[in-house]
Structure 1
């Protein structure tokens, strides 16, 4: 019976362990599956975000490239339009010159025809037994007409020359105007860059002051004292006071700690440091008298007594 009971106990224990192990396996399986699903979702979301970021970046670069190309095309079109205008003007000038040349040649031929007609008429009149006076009169008339014609052509040539000179002056004026416009554009660009530089300098100084103020915990007095020390304002004030009292007999207080020797009668290694600290009380007092500003608490306090021990904490 004991063996049978022990067998029942062993079976029950084995069944318990089997059921517990099965539940643990199922729980671990569910946990691992949930963990894998979460990691998969995170990875998919991350890859999707990176893909969208890359797509946005590519679109921005394409847009920038398109804008640059449009600007280049517009510039090329403007340059082509300018060249076409110049070519059209040259063609018109050549056409006018050709028309004037044809007119001049026609006038010369007409003059020759009229001269030959005059000679023919004169000979005909002579042949028809006109009197000498009539022939001379006709000849004089023809000569007068000829002179008048020459004067008219000369006047037309002078007018044409003046028109060409006016056109040349107009072209020179346009070139000078274009050059002035280019100079003005260059000056405007230089002024613009100078203004941008000043703005950048102001922004940098503002960032420096904000950083310095944050470093001292927002204490404006500490920042002011730091900047005064860094810029050498205390030394400058001392120099100005020294120049102001030069040649006078001012009341001068000598700050000392009982001589330049240590307690044993010799010169200690901290003598130079002590000398520096000896100069601070009168310097702070002078600054307080001149500006009304007190030194920061971490450097020392001023008092109305003349003792050395109460000058510095």
Structure 2
């Protein structure tokens, strides 16, 4: 069934294919779906909240709240839809909910304020009630559009506001009586003060009047002389202005006469110019008539010749177009052949590049595997020597022939210098004997072994002097003192 909501209504749909609640203005409602129509227009809630102040004085707070859902917030509208989906908003459920929130927040706020604070700060009290109630109504998707808190009213049996009003009236009446007495006293004193001031001011005014009369008489004489002088000056100025006006009038009369004569001459010449212009127009029309006549005679001949030339030109143009189309077709075929050749060449290069890339990738994988194997081997060796880096370094140098290479480089360097060096092939007194630099002497196999061991200490000492590296303790120790002859 097709459901449509009113201008101030929404549809709340639940059921099949809907996880929670879906809001819409118009919608098809399928089987196994439930649709509830709810109104979103605000509603007035009128309450008489009974509260108690901090002095334990009860009072009644009449209030009217205009409350409705927040239509500009989808989440708030969803909360309100869930609230009224099973209860009408005019039902006791929604009314009790709003009433409970307003009464609870009003009582809590009133309990923290004295009666005087509530009575004197009605605007502030209203705003605080509004804020606290709105905070609680947010969880139901409701919004306070207007809140009107009326005058506080006494609870029957507790006439606090009545007595407060009577107190205020009595205080006002007593204050009025005091004000009337003070006004009478001030009036009597003021009357006497006014009489004395009147006599003093009268004497003062008489003295000042005599002085003012004398001063006014002198100023009157001065003013009379000044006025007579100004009248004479004004008369002279007016005579001069009259003479100047007469002179200007004479000049203007002469200019007007000259302008009238020039206008007559210009009018006569304008008539002559107009006659000449009209005659020129007549001559132009005659010339145009003759031209059109000659043009009509020659036009037929020109049209025939033009048609013949157009036919010949079209024939030549058609031939040239066919030739151009043939050349264009041949060029297109050549271009297609070149494109096919280029595509084949590009494909071959792409395959070659892919093969080279595959080879490089495999080579990189081999190098990576080799590096990983070397790292694994070095790690095992370091573990075997108990984590001693110096022992591992010495082992790797011996294994890779580093000492041999260093000895070879040193011997090549020394050979280039061609020094004369005697090397001990055996320790003195060991019975092996002494050899020379040319390898002379005899002693059999033991002599060769003795020569090898005798050459090892100088070699290790040379490596230590040049690189700072000492041989491992299990191989040999450097002598503290040895001699060369």
TM-score, length basis structure 1: 0.44
**Greater helix content:** 1
**Greater strand content:** 2
Work out which of the two has the higher radius of gyration on C-alpha atoms and give 1 or 2: 2
